[in-house]
Amino acid sequence: MDWFEPLRDYCERGGPEFWAEPANALSNAGFLLAAAAAARRASRAEPRDQACLALSGLIAVVGIGSFLFHTLAVYWSMLADVIPIALFIYGYLALALHRFLRLAPVRVAAATVGFVLFSFALTPMLDSLTGQDVANLTNGSIAYVPPLLALFGVAWAAAGRREERFVGTGRRLAVVGLVFLVSFVARTADHAACSIVPTGTHPLWHVLNAAVLYALLATAIRHRAIAG
């Protein structure tokens, strides 16, 4: 494995230079703003929402890792991008299962492990079924199908409960899921949009995803406040 292997995964990159993806790099500021806003909200909660505060810090790490990938564009910087994203997904899923669906810790752990296994198995399973490189066909976006499904699944389960506070949370999560779906399309269309949009559509993925991550934490903080 060559940790410094150059990568060219996005429309905007035309060469190996550090600043070859300015729009992709600068749009990561959205994650830092989202992290700061979420941390402020979590810190002001009574009592302080430690779980969301930790996830706020992880959003900042996501922004930093993505900036490194879109400037250095080598293999190790790709890992600095994708690992924090995965940790946020797993961490938020566990929080959502416990806070929104009231699952016991053992069931939360089992469901989260099952989700991780499904996430790793989905792409090779689809490759085998279709005979195609699904990751290449979707510009790598196939990796975000499991969290998209999980978000809508938790939204549906929460909205299906009788208490109004859970119904409201489910509806908010569904709206966030729709925004995530738009950002998913933007990520997938990046290379196809090259001939129309010189920067591609990946910067839109960053901006919308920053909004999604903030909204997820804001929803969790709000739900804890009204659920007691």
Mean pLDDT (the chain) is: 96
- What's the pLDDT score for residue 51? 98
* Distance (Å) of CA 76 to CA 39, 72, 73, 141, 169: 28, 9, 8, 19, 38
In this prediction, residue 161 has a pLDDT band, given cuts at 50, 70 and 90, of confident
Identify the DSSP state of 189: T
Domain architecture of the chain: domains with CATH: 22-227 (1.20.1070)
The answer to whether residue 227 scores a pLDDT higher than 80 is: no
Q: What is the DSSP string of 92-151?
A: HHHHHHHHTT---HHHHHHHHHHHHHHHHHHHHHHHHHHSS-HHHHTTTGGGGHHHHHHH
- What's the pLDDT score for residue 228? 64
Q: Closest Cα partner for 221 from 44, 1, 7, 32?
A: 44
- For the stretch 23-46, pLDDT in tens is 999 999 999 999 999 999 999 999
User: What percent of the chain clears pLDDT 90, i.e. is strictly above it?
Assistant: 94
- For the stretch 74-121, pLDDT in tens is 999 999 999 999 999 999 999 999 999 999 999 999 999 999 999 999
**pTM above threshold 0.75:** yes
- For the stretch 211-224, pLDDT in tens is 999 999 999 999 99
